[in-house]
């Protein structure tokens, strides 16, 4: 996984609440057995005017000029500014894969859905929760000023505006540690293989019915 | 010291290690897999040279991509080549790693959240995960069950554990009795309508109260299934005799002396009387009406006797904007009666409502009646091969077919339209599924979430009606 310590990038404001993962990446693209290549279909139904299909050349499709990511000033955005309950719905990790593949590294919103929030950290993507009032302010600033950028520092847990205004954010230590260092958390867990085996052995004693002797039921 | 909630007990029983940084390793008893969210996880295992930690904890089946007609040809019968590759990939991965899979031609195949309980692979007190947000379904058995992403699928395969932070406790209590014609689906839609799609975020919800205690396992599964639509990854119901009776004699369930031992433990799986919840919400069962969703988020629901809302009446500007957008997408006018919404298709199925009780409820409504000629299609998709067999033994297939509904083979089908079953642009569907998001059931499709009985009533009339008016 790609590490993220500091990041500075153009902010794309997506002014819509309850953005669900079906909207982030529609189901027809979940048929892929790969982890990459979802970027061209990020927000497919909002970005294009036609119905998207897998393995299509998206550069030839009619685009929706009103959609935020189709506007020239946001084409190179790497920070997504969003509204309440971003990422609700399906657990599909294809959603953070698509956001990351498009070029986003940070998403800022007043709240996120739990599964999506967790999936982001596994893919080098940092979701930041800021108060609704602050998010409102950032929306106004990003829409007012072309090329508006935010600087994010995960080490210091801060977001800084171009005028130098700084907002702190919370993130739990384990997720922060893994993202700062680009760690594979399976490797970290397997350092505790002995503890897992000991738990399993005691569980076999106390709840033996959870361990089937016969695999071919 | 205050007593423990059911969630506290399940958490403590699965805690492998509490780390200093606040995270914890939680042991996973049961891991369900399907074709959509597992291929990249198996590939990850292969690339890292890792093996599954414990084979007998895993159970796989293809469900999202499978066709619901022409199943005799198995995988070969999947017309879409991309879907076929995904199902074949699951087969190959399960064969290679030695994971038990109910393949497409196996009678035990079905939607993962239907076959787990059906097989007794879901047992009270288990921790259960699957790369699917509706894994919360299994919480109906007093399980700690929730959806995970593909990276976590790989993590569970490799370590039998997950890294978790403990959630907060929330109690949703439904008091009193439900009226006739009001089902588990109406209860959960009413709850989501009340607390909103983010109402349970960060919480594990326990559903309790007299109305929940009186429900069947099927209805409890429907309610826990849609916890995620209330923002909560985990939904639970305490174990009682209904739970214990349901799991008896199922293939994976313990038998004889082992069952007695298990029951002793299962009976402890309820919140203590003095347990403290971080949040409590109460509803009166008698006030819950049959529900219909009118918008593009599961919180956008109304009683069948109600009206589509007027955005002008909403004070919160973000919510108002959401209503305006939803009405435009749905092609509905403010203040119109719910019963005036005309339908193009009806879908009875999905992990929310495709179990035998759901099919019985729908059949009771359509029996001796005919599907409205205004509809293009009305279909019934049983949740598993075994549900299908049981329904046919009870004659439900004949009732549906005689009324003019299609009787299909099991799978996720039109709930998310990854197979050939989908809505056309602008079409309205009365659906027993769980999500009414834009495009969910097909590009430009318009979903209305309802109970199986309400979907059946809508099929007969071509528009929504209060199913209670059709009951004897």
**CATH code of residue B460:** 3.30.499.10
pLDDT for residue A216 is more than 50: no
Q: B439, B440, B446: which to substitute to probe chain A, counting the most A Cβ within 10 Å?
A: B439
Q: Alpha helix locations (H) across B98-140?
A: 112-119
User: Cβ contact (<8 Å) for B197 and A18?
Assistant: yes
User: Cβ contact (<8 Å) for A186 and B50?
Assistant: yes
Q: pLDDT tens, B329-353?
A: 999 999 999 999 999 999 999 999 9
Mean pLDDT on A49-57: 93
Tokens 């349970």 belong to residue: B200
Which residues have C-beta within 8 Å of that of residue A140, sequence separation ≥ 6? none
User: Cβ contact (<8 Å) for A216 and B100?
Assistant: yes
Q: Which residues of chain A make contact with B23, given a CB cutoff of 8 A?
A: 172-175
B-contacting residues in A 141-180 (Cβ below 8 Å): 172-175, 177
Nearest CA in chain B to A116: B149
B457 neighbors B365 (Cβ within 8 angstroms): yes
Based on the fold, state whether residues B351 and B433 are members of the same structural domain. Answer: yes
In the prediction, which pLDDT does B247 show?
98
Neighbours of A28 (CB within 10 A): 22
Q: pLDDT tens, A98-142?
A: 999 999 999 999 999 999 999 999 999 999 999 999 999 999 999
In the prediction, which pLDDT does B18 show?
97
User: Cβ contact (<8 Å) for A186 and B251?
Assistant: no
Q: Which of A45, A185, A210 sits opposite B29 (nearest CB)?
A: A210
In the prediction, which pLDDT does B1 show?
76
Helix B184-195 with B217-225: angle, nearest 10 deg: 30
Mean pLDDT lowest for which of A48-57, A161-170, B142-151, B450-459? A48-57
B164 neighbors B12 (Cβ within 8 angstroms): no
User: Cβ contact (<8 Å) for B201 and A123?
Assistant: no
Mean pLDDT on A14-27: 97
Based on the fold, state whether residues B216 and B329 are members of the same structural domain. Answer: no
Which ipTM was obtained for this model? Answer: 0.95
Based on the fold, state whether residues B49 and B68 are members of the same structural domain. Answer: yes
Domain boundary among B289, B314, B331: B289
Mean pLDDT on B231-259: 97
Confidence band of A31 (pLDDT split at 50, 70, 90): very high
Sheet hosting strand B446-449, strand order edge to edge: B406-407, B377-380, B345-348, B428-431, B446-449
A47 neighbors A104 (Cβ within 8 angstroms): no
Q: Alpha helix locations (H) across B145-235?
A: 150-159, 184-195, 210-213, 217-225
List the end-to-end C-alpha distance of chain A, in Å, as a whole number. Answer: 38
**Alpha-carbon distances of B217 from A45, A209, B52, B251, rounded to whole Å:** 38, 21, 32, 17
User: Cβ contact (<8 Å) for A115 and B147?
Assistant: yes
User: Cβ contact (<8 Å) for A200 and B125?
Assistant: no
Q: pLDDT tens, B174-218?
A: 999 999 999 999 999 999 999 999 999 999 999 999 999 999 999
For A65, the token pair is 């000029």
Q: Which residues of chain A make contact with B231, given a CB cutoff of 8 A?
A: 85, 88, 113-114
A57 neighbors A39 (Cβ within 8 angstroms): no
User: Cβ contact (<8 Å) for A122 and B149?
Assistant: yes
In the prediction, which pLDDT does A212 show?
74
Binding-site residues of B for [4Fe-4S] cluster? 351, 412, 415
User: Cβ contact (<8 Å) for A111 and B148?
Assistant: no
Based on the fold, state whether residues B122 and B258 are members of the same structural domain. Answer: yes
Tokens 């309980």 belong to residue: B117
CATH of A6-171, one of 2.40.110.20, 3.20.19.10, 3.30.310.80, 3.40.630.30: 3.20.19.10
- Is residue A133 less than 8 Å (CB to CB) from chain B? no
Helix B39-48 with B81-97: angle, nearest 10 deg: 40
Q: Which of A33, A91, A96 sits opposite B39 (nearest CB)?
A: A33
Q: Which residue has the higher pLDDT, A212 or B149?
A: B149
CA-nearest of A162, A161, A150, A167 to A12 is A150
Q: pLDDT tens, B351-401?
A: 999 999 999 999 999 999 999 999 999 999 999 999 999 999 999 999 999
**Alpha-carbon distances of B141 from B96, B138, B149, B343, B419, rounded to whole Å:** 32, 6, 23, 35, 30
Q: Domain limits of chain A?
A: 6-171, 172-211
In the prediction, which pLDDT does B472 show?
66
pLDDT for residue A200 is more than 80: yes
DSSP B80: S
**Dist. CA B379–CA B363, nearest whole Å:** 12
B192 neighbors B184 (Cβ within 8 angstroms): no
Neighbours of B209 (CB within 10 A): 17
User: Cβ contact (<8 Å) for B159 and A186?
Assistant: yes
Based on the fold, state whether residues B157 and B305 are members of the same structural domain. Answer: no
Based on the fold, state whether residues B8 and B118 are members of the same structural domain. Answer: yes
Task: Return mean pLDDT, chain B.
Answer: 97
DSSP A213: S
Q: Which residues of chain A make contact with B233, given a CB cutoff of 8 A?
A: 114-115
Nearest CA in chain A to B130: A91
Based on the fold, state whether residues B84 and B208 are members of the same structural domain. Answer: yes
Based on the fold, state whether residues B121 and B219 are members of the same structural domain. Answer: yes
Q: Which residues of chain B make contact with A180, given a CB cutoff of 8 A?
A: none
User: Cβ contact (<8 Å) for B151 and A20?
Assistant: no
User: Cβ contact (<8 Å) for A33 and B43?
Assistant: yes
- Is residue A41 less than 8 Å (CB to CB) from chain B? no
Q: pLDDT tens, A147-184?
A: 999 999 999 999 999 999 999 999 999 999 999 999 98
Please give the tally of structural domains in chain B.
2
Based on the fold, state whether residues B317 and B247 are members of the same structural domain. Answer: no
In the prediction, which pLDDT does B165 show?
95
A63-77 CB burial, b ≥16 within 10 A, e <16: ebeebbbeeeebeeb
In the prediction, which pLDDT does A105 show?
98
User: Cβ contact (<8 Å) for A209 and B86?
Assistant: no
User: Cβ contact (<8 Å) for A199 and B21?
Assistant: no
pLDDT for residue A214 is more than 80: no
Q: A1, A2, A16, A18: which to substitute to probe chain B, counting the most B Cβ within 10 Å?
A: A18
- Is residue A35 less than 8 Å (CB to CB) from chain B? yes
For B177, the token pair is 């009795």
**Per residue, what are the HEC states of A47-108?**
HECCCCCCCCCHHHCCECCCCHHHCHHHCCCCEEECCCCECECCCCCHHHHHHHHHCCCEEE
Q: Which of B22, B25, B83 sits opposite A192 (nearest CB)?
A: B25
pLDDT for residue A217 is more than 70: no
| B446–chain A nearest CA distance, Å | 14
Domain boundary among B240, B262, B289: B289
Q: Which of B37, B83, B435 sits opposite A89 (nearest CB)?
A: B435
Binding-site residues of B? 351, 412, 415
Based on the fold, state whether residues B372 and B398 are members of the same structural domain. Answer: yes
**Dist. CA B252–CA B22, nearest whole Å:** 35
Helix B452-461 with B356-366: angle, nearest 10 deg: 30
Based on the fold, state whether residues B273 and B391 are members of the same structural domain. Answer: no
Nearest CA in chain B to A192: B17
| A92–chain B nearest CA distance, Å | 6
What DSSP element (H or E) covers A11?
Answer: strand A6-13
**Alpha-carbon distances of B407 from B70, B80, B259, B458, rounded to whole Å:** 12, 22, 37, 17
pLDDT for residue A215 is more than 60: no
Q: Which of B56, B197, B438 sits opposite A23 (nearest CB)?
A: B438
| A100–chain B nearest CA distance, Å | 15
Give the domain extent around B422.
Answer: 291-470
Domain boundary among B245, B268, B289: B289
- Is residue A199 less than 8 Å (CB to CB) from chain B? yes
In the prediction, which pLDDT does A55 show?
86
Based on the fold, state whether residues B160 and B24 are members of the same structural domain. Answer: yes
């Amino acid at each position: 996984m790609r590490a993220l310590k500091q990041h500075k990038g153009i902010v794309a404001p997506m002014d819509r609440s309850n953005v669900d993962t079906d909207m982030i990446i529609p189901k027809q693209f979940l048929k892929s057995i790969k982890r990459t290549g979802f970027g061209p279909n990020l927000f497919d139904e909002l970005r294009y005017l036609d119905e998207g299909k897998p393995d299509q050349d998206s550069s030839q499709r009619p685009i929706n000029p009103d959609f935020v990511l189709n506007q020239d000033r946001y084409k190179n955005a790497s920070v997504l500014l969003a509204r309440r309950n971003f990422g609700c719905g399906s657990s599909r990790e294809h959603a953070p894969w698509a956001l990351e593949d498009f070029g986003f590294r940070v998403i800022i919103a007043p709240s996120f859905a739990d599964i999506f929030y967790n999936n982001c950290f596994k893919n080098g993507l940092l979701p930041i929760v800021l108060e609704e009032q602050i998010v409102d302010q950032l929306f106004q600033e990003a829409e007012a000023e072309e090329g508006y950028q935010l600087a994010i520092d995960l080490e210091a847990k801060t977001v800084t505006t171009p005028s130098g205004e700084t907002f702190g954010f919370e993130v739990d230590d384990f997720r922060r540690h893994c993202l700062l260092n680009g760690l594979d958390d399976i490797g970290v867990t397997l350092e505790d293989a002995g503890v897992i085996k000991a738990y399993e052995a005691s569980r076999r004693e106390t709840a033996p019915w959870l361990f089937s002797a016969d695999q071919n039921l | 010291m205050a007593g423990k909630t059911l969630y506290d007990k399940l958490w403590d029983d699965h805690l492998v290690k509490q780390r200093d940084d606040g995270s914890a390793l939680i042991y996973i008893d049961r891991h369900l897999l399907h074709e959509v969210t597992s291929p990249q996880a198996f590939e990850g295992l292969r690339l890292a040279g890792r093996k599954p930690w414990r084979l007998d904890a895993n159970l796989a089946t293809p469900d999202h991509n499978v066709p619901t007609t022409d199943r005799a040809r198995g995988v070969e019968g999947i017309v879409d080549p991309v879907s076929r590759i995904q199902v074949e990939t699951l087969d190959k991965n399960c064969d290679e790693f030695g994971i038990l899979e109910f393949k497409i031609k196996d009678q035990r195949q079905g939607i993962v959240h239907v076959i787990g309980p059906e097989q007794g692979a879901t047992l009270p007190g288990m921790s259960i995960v699957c790369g699917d947000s509706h894994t919360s379904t299994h919480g109906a058995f007093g399980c700690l069950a929730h959806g995970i992403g593909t990276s976590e699928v790989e993590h569970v395969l490799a370590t039998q554990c997950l890294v978790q932070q403990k959630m907060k406790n929330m109690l949703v209590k439904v008091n009193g009795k439900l009226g006739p014609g009001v089902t588990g689906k109406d209860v959960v839609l009413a709850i989501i309508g009340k607390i909103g799609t983010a109402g349970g975020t960060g919480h594990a919800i326990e559903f309790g109260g007299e109305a929940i205690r009186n429900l069947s396992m099927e209805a409890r599964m429907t309610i826990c299934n849609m916890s995620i639509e209330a923002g909560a990854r985990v939904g639970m119901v305490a174990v009682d005799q209904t739970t214990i009776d349901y799991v008896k004699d199922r293939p994976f369930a313990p038998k004889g002396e082992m069952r007695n031992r298990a029951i002793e433990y299962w009976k402890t799986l309820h919140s203590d009387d003095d347990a403290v919840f971080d949040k409590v919400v109460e509803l009166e069962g008698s006030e819950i009406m049959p529900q219909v969703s009118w918008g593009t988020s599961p919180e956008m629901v109304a009683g069948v006797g109600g009206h589509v809302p007027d955005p002008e009446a909403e004070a919160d500007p973000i919510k108002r904007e959401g209503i305006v957008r939803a009405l435009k997408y749905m092609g509905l006018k403010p203040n119109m009666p719910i019963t005036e919404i005309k339908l193009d298709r009806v879908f009875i199925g999905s992990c929310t409502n495709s179990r035998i009780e759901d099919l019985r409820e729908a059949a009771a409504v359509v029996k001796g009646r005919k599907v409205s000629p205004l509809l293009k299609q009305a279909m019934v998709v049983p949740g598993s091969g075994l549900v299908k067999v049981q329904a046919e033994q009870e004659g439900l297939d004949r009732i549906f077919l005689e009324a003019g509904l299609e009787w299909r083979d099991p799978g996720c089908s039109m709930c998310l339209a990854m197979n050939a079953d989908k809505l056309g642009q602008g079409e309205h569907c009365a659906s027993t599924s769980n999500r009414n998001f834009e495009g969910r059931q097909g590009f430009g499709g318009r979903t209305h979430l309802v109970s199986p009985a309400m979907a059946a009533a809508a099929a007969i009339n071509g528009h929504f009606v209060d199913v209670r008016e059709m009951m004897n």
